[in-house]
A and B are shown apart, each in its own frame.
Chain A
Amino acid sequence: MEKVLGKNRKSEIKEIEGFIDGLDVSGCYQCGKCTAGCPVAHLMDNPPQRMIRLVQIGAIDEALSSNAYWNCVACGTCSARCPRKVKISELMDGLKSFSIKKKMTPKDRSERNIALFNEIFLNNIRRHGRLFEVELVGMNNVLSGHLLRDTTKAPEMLVHGKLKFIPSNIAKKDMKKIFKNTVEKNDKR
Chain B
Amino acid sequence: MTRDETDQTIKIAYYPGCTLKGTTKEFGDSIELSFSALGIELIEIPSWICCGATSAHATDKNLAIALPYHNFAKTQEMGMGTIAIPCAACFQRHKVTNKECEREDIRKEMYKITGHRYDGNIRCRHPLEVLMKDIKPEKWQNLLKKKLGLKAACYYGCLLTRPEDVMEFDERPENPQLMDDFCETLGMKTVDWNYKVTCCGASYFASKPEIVLKLTSKILEDAKKSGAECVVVACPLCHSNLDMKQKEIGKELRMDLDMPVFYFSQLLGLALGIDHRKLGLHTHFVDTQVLLDRKRLI
Q: Footprint of B on A, CB under 8 Å? A: 19-20, 39-40, 43, 71, 73-77, 79-80, 93, 96-97, 100, 110, 113-114, 116-119, 121-122, 125, 129-131, 133, 136-137, 140, 144, 149-150, 153, 156-157, 160-164, 170-171, 174-175, 177-179, 181-183, 186
A183/B162 in contact, CB under 8 A: no
B158/A77 in contact, CB under 8 A: yes
Which secondary structure characterizes the binding site on chain A? Answer: helix
Within 8 A of A (CB), among B1-36: 18-19, 21-25
Residue of A nearest to B157 (CB): A75
A43/B211 in contact, CB under 8 A: yes
In the assembled complex, the Cα of A35 lies from the Cα of B271 at a distance in Å of 42
In the assembled complex, the Cα of A80 lies from the Cα of B208 at a distance in Å of 24
Residue of A nearest to B210 (CB): A110
Report chain A residues within 8 Å CB of B70: 171, 174, 178
Report chain B residues within 8 Å CB of A43: 211
B208/A171 in contact, CB under 8 A: no
In the assembled complex, the Cα of A5 lies from the Cα of B203 at a distance in Å of 36
In the assembled complex, the Cα of A157 lies from the Cα of B61 at a distance in Å of 34
Residue of B nearest to A156 (CB): B285
Given known contacts A129-B50, A130-B21, A183-B63, A118 and B162 CB-to-CB distance under 8 angstroms? no
Say whether B58 faces chain A, with CB atoms less than 8 Å apart.
yes
In the assembled complex, the Cα of A116 lies from the Cα of B206 at a distance in Å of 11
B18/A133 in contact, CB under 8 A: yes
A80/B164 in contact, CB under 8 A: yes
In the assembled complex, the Cα of A114 lies from the Cα of B47 at a distance in Å of 29
In the assembled complex, the Cα of A74 lies from the Cα of B162 at a distance in Å of 10
A101 to chain B, nearest CB (A): 8
Q: Select A153's contact among B164, B215, B244, beta carbons within 8 Å.
A: B244
In the assembled complex, the Cα of A144 lies from the Cα of B215 at a distance in Å of 22
Say whether B49 faces chain A, with CB atoms less than 8 Å apart.
yes
Q: Select A183's contact among B25, B59, B244, beta carbons within 8 Å.
A: B59
Q: Select A178's contact among B47, B114, B206, beta carbons within 8 Å.
A: B114
Say whether B207 faces chain A, with CB atoms less than 8 Å apart.
yes
B206/A140 in contact, CB under 8 A: yes
Say whether B298 faces chain A, with CB atoms less than 8 Å apart.
no
In the assembled complex, the Cα of A130 lies from the Cα of B66 at a distance in Å of 14
Given known contacts A170-B47, A183-B63, A73 and B199 CB-to-CB distance under 8 angstroms? yes
- Beyond the given A76-B163, A125-B52, A130-B18, could you list 5 further A-B residue pairs with CB under 8 A, ordered by the A residue number? A71-B208, A76-B158, A119-B55, A133-B23, A182-B113
Residue of A nearest to B71 (CB): A171
Report chain A residues within 8 Å CB of B113: 177-178, 181-182
Given known contacts A130-B49, A171-B70, A177 and B23 CB-to-CB distance under 8 angstroms? no
A122/B55 in contact, CB under 8 A: yes
Say whether B188 faces chain A, with CB atoms less than 8 Å apart.
no
Report chain A residues within 8 Å CB of B204: 73, 114
B274 to chain A, nearest CB (A): 17
The winner among B60, B62, B199, B201 for most chain A CB atoms within 10 A is B60
Say whether B202 faces chain A, with CB atoms less than 8 Å apart.
yes
A168 to chain B, nearest CB (A): 8
Say whether B39 faces chain A, with CB atoms less than 8 Å apart.
no
Report chain B residues within 8 Å CB of A20: 61
B50/A114 in contact, CB under 8 A: no
Given known contacts A79-B162, A122-B55, A183-B63, A131 and B211 CB-to-CB distance under 8 angstroms? no
B253 to chain A, nearest CB (A): 17
Say whether B146 faces chain A, with CB atoms less than 8 Å apart.
no
In the assembled complex, the Cα of A177 lies from the Cα of B52 at a distance in Å of 15
A144/B207 in contact, CB under 8 A: yes
Say whether B56 faces chain A, with CB atoms less than 8 Å apart.
yes
A171/B49 in contact, CB under 8 A: yes
Residue of A nearest to B25 (CB): A162
Report chain A residues within 8 Å CB of B25: 160-162
